[in-house]
Amino acid sequence: MLAISPIEAFDDNYIWLLKDPGSTLAAVVDPGDEDPVLATLEAQRLELGAILVTHHHYDHVGGIDALRKAFPQARIFGPHDRRIRTLTDPLGEGDQVRVPWISESFRVLEVPGHTSTHIAYLGVGILFCGDTLFAAGCGRVFDGTFEQLSASLERIAALPPETLCYCAHEYTLANLGFAKWVEPESTAVVQREQAALAIREQGRPTVPSRLSEELATNPFLRTSVPEVKAAAESQVGMPLATTAEVFTALRRWKDEKYD
């Protein structure tokens, strides 16, 4: 059975370590920094066999060159993107990622918006979503578009609600603060914030999160909820006709007035 554990990097990044019990080979997702990965592999007496990349930002790919030097046999999976020069296995929508020594296989979902070529990896009940979806939030729009990110989040929202979402940053408490701006009367948001505070006080990650929890508390997955739509319309001072327009208003509100 696949074991997944976080490797902390920088101030708030999570690099995900994947291995099957008893195996001496491991994979990592989005290694922005090689040092904590190398230290973890050494401590657990593991070899690195594969790297999975969701997008080209440096805090997700910055450690690849050093890891490849240390483990030249490692396969490097990621999106078709010239900005990621070290890939051995470029991937697109519907491609399957099968690593022989890992019991889980993954299907590639193209989820652009944060970046134009962002992908996610979907297994049985598992989603590595990079910076597309965060716990209680979502990524900023860089070289993608608001419309793309809205559609990508709607696609994720349609997955089974028990799906565990492994995002790449510890932003949960900050994101819940904005969720309270959007839905100040939501008891679900307050309860989640209290639970997240307790988890962080224990020094533990608040992720992965279950998709059902995101559907109940993440404003960027709740763009069709009347209260969320009304909050977005209040910010822009005009009616919003589509969920993409609601999403864009929410994301700009957070960018300009909260973050």
Q: What is the largest CA-CA distance in the chain?
A: 58
Is 131 a known active-site residue?
yes
Phi, psi (deg, nearest 5) at residue 181: -65, -45
Q: How far is CA 88 from CA 25, 59, 150, in A?
A: 18, 20, 30
* Tokens of residue 250, six digits: 């929410």
CB-CB neighbours of 198 under 10 Å: 11
Q: Which of 30, 33, 56, 169 is catalytic?
A: 169
Q: Which of 33, 56, 114, 118 is catalytic?
A: 114
Query: What contacts 24+ positions apart, CB below 8 Å, involve 80-89?
Result: 80/117, 81/55, 81/56, 81/117, 83/56, 84/53, 84/56, 86/61, 87/53
CB 136 within 8 Å of CB 179: yes
Is 56 a known active-site residue?
no
Say how far apart CA 108 and CA 106 lie, in whole Å: 6
Say how far apart CA 114 and CA 134 lie, in whole Å: 11
Q: How far is CA 199 from CA 86, 135, 193, in A?
A: 37, 14, 10
Q: Which of 30, 33, 56, 60 is catalytic?
A: 60
Q: Which of 30, 59, 81, 95 is catalytic?
A: 59
Quickly list H helices, 142-182.
146-157, 172-182
Q: Which of 55, 56, 95, 118 is catalytic?
A: 55
CB 179 within 8 Å of CB 152: no
Is 60 a known active-site residue?
yes
Q: Which of 57, 81, 95, 118 is catalytic?
A: 57
Is 118 a known active-site residue?
no
Active site residues: 55, 57, 59-60, 114, 131, 169
